[in-house]
Structure 1
Amino acid sequence: MLNIQLLLKISLKMWLVLIFGIVNYPLQIRAEDKKNTCAAHEKWTVFQRRKYGNVSFDRGWHDYVNGFGDCDGDFWLGLEALHELTKGDDMSLEINMMSRGKKNHLWAKYRTFRISPGSDFYILHVSGYSGPDARDVLRYNNNWQFSTKDADHDGWRTVNCASYFGGGWWYGRGCGATSHLNGNFNKIGVKGIRWNGYLCCSEMKLYKRAAGDI
């Protein structure tokens, strides 16, 4: 069940059609004008923000599936919503980040971005990286299931990566430790927010590719 209260707070425009208890889309949850790399007419859906440190991301499976936080602060939209938004296989991903000390702005873009259904534990599918300086570290998390501290689906047999690092993520073999944007906001190091280095802030957003961008 989606966290409808959170979605309603975040939405600029939303149509929900309830048929036999099933929520049908389209959703347009939080649209922003493009930044850096896309034409001005394209619209973004922000699904993760770490900027203020006002929301704990060290949460269990239920919260990560349904979403949590505040659209005016830090939040996670929810894995089920992400699956619904990306199942058409026509979405791209951009991640905007800032290094610790707020010295460097970084961004990474993936031409294709899709999340598998809950029956497959929301596997991450990304490809087509571009970016001037952030590096393609999400490749180590690609094709891995989502894990939380109470739902261990990672690639390390003897360690629960989400419990060790704090925060749900697509942990890969060896915990895929080069990226973890849901880490502890107040910690510096491997248990903090990471993308090939230590970050203070991040924002993950998706947009629908143009019809000709195959």
Structure 2
Amino acid sequence: MKRTLPEDCTEIQKQSPLASSGVYVIQPAGGSTRFKVYCELRSDGGWVVLQRRTEGVLSFHRGWRDYKYGFGSMDDDHWLGLEKVHLLTKEKYKKWTLRVDLWDHEGGAAYAEYNNFKIGSEATAYRLQVGRYSGTAGDAIRGAYAGIDQNGFGFSTIDRDNDGCSPCIFGDIAELECAFSEGGGWWYSSCGSASLNGDWHPFGDHIGWASGLHWLTWKGPAPYSLKATRMMFKTE
């Protein structure tokens, strides 16, 4: 099938430099699959939004199928879908940058960027790959301490466990599956210090919860659940 749609948000921005951020239909290179994405079109590039969270209306406590195909509304809180991210990032001739934007309940903001971002196929449990870190939030994916590096791990949900715990020991607590305590789905490695798909907590009820929106190299060591998060990626 001849491709007639843009491959990604970067191409949309190149074709229409004055285009506004919003929902677009794309067709990743090397295939005939088409789907909608939210493009964040900024001065530093055209970003595909992978995840957005701003409140607690949309539950992220979901199983493998939902995380595979995506859920939520593209122009509101949502998860794009692991299969779509794989289709976009699998092409070897393209390199991608992942950006994670974080907002706390006190008016602060921070970000983390990783080059060489991609995720594997479902056969690898959508294994995460990130390269060099830069930013202001700290490298929570590789962890606040040794032994919890999430880079290179597959995705886990409440019905699909790939977190490496058999069990993991935290003080006097034995953890068998991180998705049950941390919530939602993530690339858990001995649970780790990054986890953005747990339960959303409002101000005043946002500290101390195991399940939350955590980036513990920025807000920690006590579990701090963030006010809002956004994950997005673009071609380098």
- Provide the TM-score with structure 1 as the length reference: 0.80
Deviation at 1:25, TM superposition (A): 4.6
Q: Which residue of 2 aligns with 1:195?
A: 215
Number of the residue aligned with 2:60: 57
Contact 1:87/1:114 (8 A) holds in 2? yes
> In structure 2, what is the Cα distance between the partners aligned to 1:61 and 1:85?
19
CA-to-aligned-CA distance 1:141-183 (integer Å, 9 cap, x gap) = 10001000000111111311101221100000x211x110111
How far 1:14 sits from its partner (Å)?
2.6
CA distance 1:128–1:25, change in 2 (3 Å) = farther
Matches of 1:117 and 1:16 in 2, distance apart? 15
The match for 1:128 is 132
Equivalents in 1 of 2:64, 2:160: separation in Å? 6
Q: Does 1:74 align with 2:91?
A: no
**1:103 equivalent in structure 2:** 107
Q: Give the stretch that moved more between structures: 57-66 or 84-93.
A: 84-93
Distance 2:82 2:28 in 1: 18
- State whether residues 25 and 34 of structure 2, in contact with CA within 8 Å, keep that contact through their aligned partners in structure 1: no
Match of 2:173 in 1: none
Q: Which of 41, 44, 48 lines up with 1:33 in the alignment?
A: 41
* Partner of residue 157, structure 2: 148
Relative to 1, partners in 2 of residues 1:163 and 1:202: Cα closer, same or farther, differing over 3 Å?
A: same
Bigger radius of gyration among the two: 2
Say if 1:54 and 1:73, in contact at 8 Å, map to a contact too: no
Aligned residues: 187
Is this contact kept in 1: 2:58–2:72, CA < 8 A? yes
Q: 1:161 to 1:136 in 2, by over 3 A?
A: same
Ranges in structure 1 where 5+ consecutive residues have no aligned partner = 1-9, 18-22, 35-39, 210-214
Aligned partner (choices 91, 97, 108) of residue 92 of structure 1: 97
Paired AA for residue 146 in structure 1: F
Q: Is the 8 A contact 1:27 1:85 kept in 2?
A: no
Distance 1:123 1:69 in 2: 23
Amino acid at match of 1:200: K
Deviation of 1:41 (Å): 6.2
The equivalent residue for 1:206 is: 233
RMSD (Å), alpha carbons: 2.2
Consecutive aligned runs of 4 or more in structure 1 exceeding 4 Å deviation: 25-28
**SS class of match (1:112):** coil
> 1:156 and 1:41, CA in 2 relative to 1: closer, same or farther beyond 3 A?
closer
Instruction: Name the structure 2 match of 1:167.
Output: 184
Secondary structure of the corresponding residue to residue 82 of structure 1: helix
Quote the offset at 1:42 in angstroms.
Answer: 1.8
Which protein has the bigger helix share? 1
In structure 1, how many angstroms separate the alpha carbons of the residues matched to 2:138 and 2:184? 22
Identity, % of aligned positions: 37
